[in-house]
């Protein structure tokens, strides 16, 4: 899960300019400042760039395509101050920049921004994958669509709140009740844990990321897994089945989409 600063000044200015243009002086009100009215292409480009083209939740590589979606950290379905405050309490970024959409829309005087209405606030929007781990899957299995409107802390705006363990599991340190917020995103599903575990074993083997990215054939896939994982002293009996399942081109390609975890595990003190 990526940590995001949300400090793109041009993106912030663009939202302010959009809101300013929607003020109607003759009627003393804002019109068309909802999510359907914004330039989503612009938002997506900004989010992808600051996230280094990985999903805000599962850290899978994503691109500027229709399969990449915009996710509201604070869902658009939030309508009450108490519901909003639950998110604001976790993040100064949200606290200093977000107001309820309805409260902003009802303004009878032109507002200075920030704060921004939460439906269109740049600080409240991130880029997510479509929740399908395999390209051929028809099922939504993780991330924003799995979450829907369930409350989760704004992890992406909370540096170092998330850790990945050596067994491949993801862990939110402040959750004392069965990691329920992570479960809402289904980020500890078996396949994702296997992927992260393999990346940990690769980093522990001494292989470089460049070596892995140069693999293109089935023979090379089998060879590098045999050399760096099959005989890895950290490999357990439970790893054997997982490792074997990645000795094919389709699953290897899927694994490479999660290379974010190589750098995560290679850096000490995680």
Is the pLDDT assigned to residue 64 strictly greater than 90? Answer: yes
> pLDDT grade, residue 238 (50/70/90)?
confident
CA dist 35 and 63 (Å) reads 21
Check: CB of residue 70 under 8 Å from CB of residue 36.
no
Parent domain of 260 = 191-266
User: Which pLDDT value is given to residue 16?
Assistant: 96
Please write the tens of the pLDDT for every residue from 22-56: 999 999 999 999 999 999 999 999 999 999 999 99
User: Which pLDDT value is given to residue 232?
Assistant: 81
Residue at which a domain ends, from 112, 147, 182: 147
Q: Do residue 220 and residue 138 come from a single domain?
A: no
Q: Do residue 14 and residue 142 come from a single domain?
A: yes
CA dist 96 and 115 (Å) reads 7
Distances 207 to 159, 214, 227, 252 between C-alpha atoms, Å: 28, 12, 9, 16
CA dist 27 and 165 (Å) reads 56
- 229: which DSSP letter? I
What lies within 8 Å, CB to CB, of 42 at 6+ separation is 11, 14
Answer whether residue 183 is part of any domain.
Answer: no
Q: Do residue 15 and residue 130 come from a single domain?
A: yes
Q: Do residue 113 and residue 23 come from a single domain?
A: yes
Structurally, how many domains does the chain consist of? 2
Q: Do residue 238 and residue 138 come from a single domain?
A: no
Q: Do residue 45 and residue 142 come from a single domain?
A: yes
Answer whether residue 156 is part of any domain.
Answer: no
Q: Do residue 218 and residue 141 come from a single domain?
A: no
């Amino acid at each position: 899960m990526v940590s995001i600063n949300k400090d793109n000044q041009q993106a912030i200015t663009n939202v302010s300019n959009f809101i300013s243009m929607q003020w109607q002086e003759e009627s003393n009100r804002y019109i068309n400042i909802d999510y359907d009215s914004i330039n989503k292409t612009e938002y997506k480009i900004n989010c992808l760039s600051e996230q280094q083209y990985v999903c805000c939740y599962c850290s899978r590589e994503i691109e500027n395509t229709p399969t990449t979606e915009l996710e509201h950290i604070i869902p658009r379905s939030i309508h009450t101050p108490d519901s909003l405050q639950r998110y604001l309490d976790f993040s100064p970024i949200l606290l200093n920049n977000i107001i309820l959409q309805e409260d902003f829309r009802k303004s009878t005087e032109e507002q200075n921004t920030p704060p921004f209405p939460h439906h269109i606030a740049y600080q409240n929007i991130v880029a997510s994958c479509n929740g399908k781990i395999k390209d051929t899957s028809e099922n939504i299995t993780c991330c924003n669509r799995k979450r829907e409107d369930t409350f989760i802390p704004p992890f992406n705006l909370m540096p170092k709140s998330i850790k990945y363990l050596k067994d491949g599991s993801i862990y939110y340190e402040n959750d004392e009740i069965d990691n329920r917020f992570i479960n809402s995103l289904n980020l500890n599903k078996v396949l994702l844990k296997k992927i992260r575990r393999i990346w940990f074993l690769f980093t522990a083997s001494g292989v470089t990321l460049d070596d892995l990215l140069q693999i293109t054939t089935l023979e090379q896939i089998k060879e590098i897994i045999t050399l760096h994982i099959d005989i890895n002293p950290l490999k357990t009996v439970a790893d054997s089945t997982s490792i074997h399942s990645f000795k094919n081109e389709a699953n290897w390609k899927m694994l490479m989409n999660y290379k974010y975890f190589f750098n995560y595990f290679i850096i000490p003190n995680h």
